[in-house]
Amino acid sequence: MTTAPAADAYFIDGDHNYETVFNELNLIFKRCDDTTPLIFLHDLGWPCARRDFYYNPSVIPLHAVHSHTYSGGVVPGRKDICDWGFRVSDAAVATIEGGPRNGVLTAVDDAHKGHPGWNLIFIPGVFGLGNVYHTERASPEQREALSALRKGLDYLSGLLTRLEENRLENYLAGIHSHRKQASKNAVLSTRTVRGNIRRAWWRLRGGVLTLNEVSLANICRILTHYEVDADPTTLSSLRQNVAKEKGLSPRDLETASSGDKNIQFQYLTVVVLGTTPIWEQ
């Protein structure tokens, strides 16, 4: 933007944070002293209006970056971060909404106030669209179009605002519903897996099921899933016992996922079910 010639129109919809948008607008204002471009911006409404989002915070001066996180989400009416809500994939979000130099709309407000003659028309829909223009340097055609837009917004602004609020309510309700269902499915999946393991274990002990009938792929998958929550001391003791029983080193045992099925099943019964290893019964 610093080297490109001045344009008739600009559309700003990149990194949604104060520092980026403020500097982009100032570059445009300085390069367009003798022209009258129309400047369009997206995401002037919630959630970016008063809260920074960063696609790559490392390229922004440290003093201009707010405290941020890549986890959690945002919901209307809450200034902090919650464990669900709206989020942008691969983007960090400021942990607090509001305050100086925070958000896209704040950047637009500060930028055009520092350059007399530039004004903003805000359209409250689909995260907010803005049109920044110069009152005195606008052409007759531009003035006519902007006047028609302002008149339309005088009638429709309230309706558009409510439609956007309703859209966001439904959007966030869908996110919340999906989150609850995903959590429920995870619980059901855990119960199903545990039940299947118990049934397979008792059938194995009763001679009804042989190890060859147990899916090796499923065992490895379940081990990977449940080891995360297993007690480290229990796992360490288990590995030592298995290594001693089978004549393996602990390192050998770590790579046994494609080896002895008996070791895998013994490992599985302790980690998942908390039962006594076969060799101790």
DSSP result, 152-196: HHHHHHHHHHHHHHHHHHHHHHHHHHHHHHHHHHHHHHHHHHHHH
Least confident span in 2-6, 84-88, 157-161, 221-225? 221-225
Q: Same domain for 120 and 24?
A: yes
- Does residue 3 form part of some domain? no
Strands 118-123 and 92-94: unpaired
Of 125, 156, 179, the residue at which a domain comes to its end is: 179
Q: Same domain for 132 and 238?
A: no
The contacts found for 29-35 with CB under 8 angstroms, 24 or more apart, are 29/111, 29/112, 29/115, 29/118, 31/6, 32/6, 32/134, 35/6, 35/8, 35/137
Rounded distance between C-alpha atoms, residue 156 and residue 165, angstroms: 14
Q: Which domain does 98 fall in, by range? A: 9-179
- Does residue 203 form part of some domain? no
| Whether the predicted pLDDT of 14 surpasses 50 | yes
- pLDDT confidence band for 127 (50 / 70 / 90): very high
| Whether the predicted pLDDT of 59 surpasses 90 | yes
Q: Same domain for 173 and 239?
A: no
- pLDDT confidence band for 137 (50 / 70 / 90): confident
| Whether the predicted pLDDT of 57 surpasses 80 | yes
- Does residue 1 form part of some domain? no
- Does residue 200 form part of some domain? no
CB 151 within 8 A of CB 58: no
Q: Same domain for 29 and 164?
A: yes
- pLDDT confidence band for 201 (50 / 70 / 90): low
- Does residue 35 form part of some domain? yes
Residues 6+ apart with CB under 8 A from 160: 123, 124, 125, 153
Q: Same domain for 111 and 216?
A: no
Q: How many domains does the chain have?
A: 2
Q: How far apart are the first and last CA of the chain?
A: 74
Between 50 and 71, the more confident residue is 50
Rounded distance between C-alpha atoms, residue 98 and residue 18, angstroms: 11
- Does residue 80 form part of some domain? yes
Report pLDDT for 3.
75
- Whole-model pTM above 0.85? no
CB 43 within 8 A of CB 93: no
Report pLDDT for 200.
57
Residue that is written with structure tokens 């405290």 in the block? 67
Q: Same domain for 138 and 272?
A: no
Between 5 and 55, the more confident residue is 55
Report the sign of the C-alpha dihedral through residues 159, 160, 166, 169, in that order: negative
Q: Same domain for 51 and 126?
A: yes
CB 62 within 8 A of CB 89: no
- pLDDT confidence band for 240 (50 / 70 / 90): low
- pLDDT confidence band for 155 (50 / 70 / 90): confident
Q: Same domain for 168 and 244?
A: no
Strands 118-123 and 68-69: unpaired
Q: Same domain for 155 and 274?
A: no
In the structure encoding, which two tokens stand for residue 120, read together?
Answer: 């903003």
Q: Same domain for 118 and 78?
A: yes
Mean pLDDT of all residues in 35-49:
90
Report pLDDT for 251.
58
- Please, what is the average pLDDT of the chain? 76
Report pLDDT for 241.
59
Report pLDDT for 188.
54
Q: Same domain for 222 and 146?
A: no
Q: Same domain for 51 and 127?
A: yes
Half-sphere exposure of 274 (CA within 13 A, CB side): 4
| Degrees to nearest 5, angle at CA 141 with 136 and 144 | 80
- Does residue 238 form part of some domain? yes
